[in-house]
Chain A
Amino acid sequence: MRRRVLPGLPLSLGITLFYVGLIVALPIGALVFKAASLGPQDYWRIVSSGRALASYRVTIACAAAATAFNLVFGLALAWVLSRYSFPGKRFVDAIVDLPFALPTAVAGIALTTLFAANGWFGSVLAQAGILVAYTPLGIVVAMTFTSLPFVVRTVQPVLEDLDPALEEAAQSLGGSDLSIFARVILPLLAPALLAGVSLSFARSLGEFGAIIFIAGNQPFETEITALLAFIRLEEYDYQAAAAIASVLLVTAFAILAATNLLQARALRYMQRA
């Protein structure tokens, strides 16, 4: 092997591979193994049942809506936190991480209380004819809450490192604020935004605790895929649970792989000639 300057490669690589195997690959392998123990026909029947298909639709549509919201709001939050100073900034900055720290069930109960028809937000929204709790909208709210930090925390450091001279240069060349944002800032943020968005979407697909309290969990209406897998588990139908979970797994993996490719494309200017 070629001599390396940095020491410790065999040891650190060995340890990380061992733990990745133990903590990540083994449970996923067990899941795939369990699902594979079904025959292809049974597997297909379970993952393409009407109820399962409806749950995919609900989960993916709500996750997409939550991610779209987080994309805009998370970018705005990261912008404000990295560009301006205002009283209470450190407090807001700390609060952003709260959804990560809070047990998701607690978040779900709190959101349900707020958005129930007699809750603080819910009662106001109900007058406008908008029902949140026990509707798909409730799922979107719960997903948005639990995945908000991803976009903020991936975009914020990139925004902070952006050289102010780039914007000054764009201004001196006659660029308007809008064209500078669209042509200079946004493209430079794109890789980080993409990473944040894909993490946020993947997290929303897998969210369980916060959603089941607010969703109502009506099959075909407000039942998410993770809950369906859980229901099969409670029925001791481990193979069906694993089959449904494998669909979530493949979807999340496909999304992360696709965004990695997009990210590499967005960063192609970093390559040497």
Chain B
Amino acid sequence: MKITLDNVVKTFDTFRAVHGVSLAIGSGELVALLGPSGSGKTTILRMVAGLEYADGGTIRFGDRDATRIPVRERGVGFVFQHYALFPHMTVAGNIAFGMKVSKLRRSRAAIDARVAELLSLVKLGGLGGRFPGQISGGQRQRVALARALAVDPKVLLLDEPFGALDANVRRELRRSLRDIHDALGITTLFVTHDQEEALDLADRVVILDHGRIVQEGTPQQVCRAPSSAFVTRFLGDANRLVAEVRGGRALIAGGSIEAAGVPDGRAEIYARPADIEWAREGAGIAARVIRVMDRPESRRLVARLPGGEHVELDMTPETAVGVGDSGVVTLRRANVFALA
């Protein structure tokens, strides 16, 4: 089911949470709404679900205007941030709930069979008789997903689905959500503030800030060509340097880097830690190591430049370097944005 948002607006009291957002989600697509807290991403998700009504604009499911359709008739599966499982029902009871209250009458045997099928889909076979208070957070998340899928929704919506879980469970569930999405082909929209989660899982990422879409595209597009300084910073660690742009190149000490399309004048340069290189000597910006942080996959150096700026850069674990060492840094790749 294709979802189309056209100029959707939402205001709470005096606070405008969503400013005219337009967005098209193709049938079967897996899309992430990514943004910091207060960016309006959850409000957009809740409007798509029908848990909030838009103050302006339209939301279409396929060709049908769904803007005013109440949540119970919208045919969406919603996974809540804290799962909202019914604590007094067993896992199987939770999953069966939607089928039991549906106008479509199903036999007890049919419901039981569907529950068993969903339990095995989310790899929870054998836990049907437990209560939500008796299973782990990751298992609850799977129950919430199975419960949402039980009503055969046309659209699956997830609000910070992995937010409350520890890193390992999170990675595992991310993979299994992707598998389930690929198996069922259901149009899926999820909200997250975790850029790694969005980039890992989604076909397309929609980045929001202050109730507006600031960029949308595939993970590759947004990572390689971030449209603004905000997107660059939000997608991951980035060093910021201020420089002068002349004729399409940004001038920094000891050289210049490409800044196509950036007007002459002051500009900010963003470079990822992995895009900066360190050398004992040679051409580049003079730098002095002030800290070394060892990580499983790299050694991260914090270096001070002559202007007083600090840059962080990632080196291979074998790099022999210590605090106080002097050398030069060079920028292999960077994004340049004009400073207003």
Q: Which residues of A contact B (CB under 8 A)?
A: 163, 165-166, 168-176, 179-180, 183-184, 187-188, 269-273
Contact A168 B80 (CB under 8 A): yes
Of B101, B131, B135, B150, most buried by chain A (CB within 10 Å of CB) is: B101
Contact flag A176-B86 (CB < 8 Å), given A168-B71, A169-B80: no
Restricting to B71-123, which residues have a CB under 8 Å from any CB of A?
71-74, 76-78, 80-82, 84-89, 97-98, 100-103
In the complex the two chains form, is B101's CB within 8 Å of A179's CB?
yes
Q: Using Cβ atoms and an 8 Å threshold, which residues of chain A touch B59? A: none
A-B contact count (CB 8 A): 84
Q: List 13 A-B contacts (CB under 8 A).
A: A169-B84, A169-B147, A172-B72, A174-B72, A174-B98, A174-B102, A175-B98, A175-B101, A183-B100, A183-B101, A269-B133, A270-B131, A273-B130
Report the Cα distance A175→B100, complex, angstroms: 9
- The smallest beta-carbon distance between A179 and chain B, in angstroms, is 5
Verify A175–B97 contact, CB threshold 8 A: yes
Contact in complex: A168, B78 (CB < 8 Å): yes
**Nearest chain A residue, comparing its CB with the CB of B80:** A165
The answer for the CA separation of A187 and B89 in the assembled complex, in Å, is 9
User: What is the CB-to-nearest-CB distance from B192 to chain A, in angstroms, rounded to a whole number?
Assistant: 18
Known contacts A165-B80, A171-B71, A173-B101; decide if A188 and B130 are in contact (CB<8 Å): no
Q: Which of A187, A269, A272 has the most CB of B within 10 A?
A: A269
> Nearest chain A CB to B41's CB is how many angstroms away?
17
The DSSP consensus for interface residues of chain A is helix
Check A169–B78 contact: CB distance below 8 A: yes
CB contact under 8 A between A172 and B133, given known A184-B86, A188-B88? no
Contact indicator A269/B88 (Cβ below 8 Å): yes
Contacts of A179 in B (CB 8 A): 101
The count of residues in chain B whose C-beta lies closer than 8 Å to any C-beta of chain A is 36
In the complex, what residues of B have CB within 8 A of residue A168's CB? 51, 71, 78, 80, 84
Interface check B228, CB cutoff 8 A: no
Q: Which of B70, B73, B97, B130 has the most CB of A within 10 A?
A: B97
Q: Which residue of the partner chain B has the closest CB to A169?
A: B84
Interface hub of A168, A187, A270 (most chain B Cβ within 10 A): A168
- Taking CB atoms, residues of chain A closer than 8 Å to B80 are 165, 168-169
Q: How far is the CA of A168 from the CA of B89 in the complex (A)?
A: 16
B98 touches A173 (CB 8 A): yes
Is B134 an interface residue when CB atoms closer than 8 A count as contact?
Answer: yes
Shortest CB–CB separation between residue B123 and chain A, in angstroms? 18
Which of B73, B78, B82, B84 counts the most A-chain CB atoms under 10 A from its CB? B84
Complex: A184 Cα to B101 Cα, angstroms: 11
- Chain B residues 123 to 164 lying within 8 A of chain A, measured CB to CB, are 130-135, 147-148, 150-151
In this complex, the member of B51, B73, B74, B76 whose beta carbon has the largest number of chain A beta carbons within 10 angstroms is B51
Given contacts A165-B81, A173-B147, 8 further A-B contacts (CB under 8 A): A165-B80, A169-B78, A169-B80, A171-B51, A172-B76, A173-B98, A183-B101, A269-B133
* Binary contact track B43-82/A, C-beta < 8 Å → 1, others 0: 0000001110000000000000000001111101110111
Chain A residues with Cβ below 8 Å from B73 are 174
Q: Determine whether the beta carbon of B101 is less than 8 Å from that of A165.
A: no
The answer to whether A172 and B97 touch across the interface, beta carbons within 8 angstroms, is no
Q: How far apart sit A272 and B85, CA to CA, in the bound complex (Å)?
A: 16
| A8 vs chain B, min Cβ distance (A) | 30
Residues of A within 8 A of B147 (CB): 169, 173
Nearest-neighbor residue (CB-CB) of A269 within chain B: B131
Specify which chain B residues have a CB less than 8 angstroms from the CB of A183 in the assembled complex. 97, 100-101
Closest A residue to B131 by beta carbon equals: A269
A171 CB contact (under 8 Å) in B72, B85, B131, B133? B72
Once the chains bind, are B84 and A166 in contact (CB under 8 Å)? yes
- Chain B residues lying within 8 Å of A163, measured Cβ to Cβ, are 82, 84
Q: Given the complex, which residues of A lie within 8 Å of B50, measured CB to CB?
A: 172
Residue in A173, A175, A270 with the greatest tally of chain B CB atoms within 10 Å:
A173
Point out the residues of chain B lying under 8 angstroms from A272, CB to CB: 133-134
* Distance between A190 CB and nearest chain B CB, rounded to angstroms: 8
Q: Of B84, B88, B102, B132, which contacts A165 at CB under 8 A?
A: B84
**Bound Cα distance from A168 to B76, whole angstroms:** 12
Minimum Cβ distance to chain B for residue A131 (Å): 44
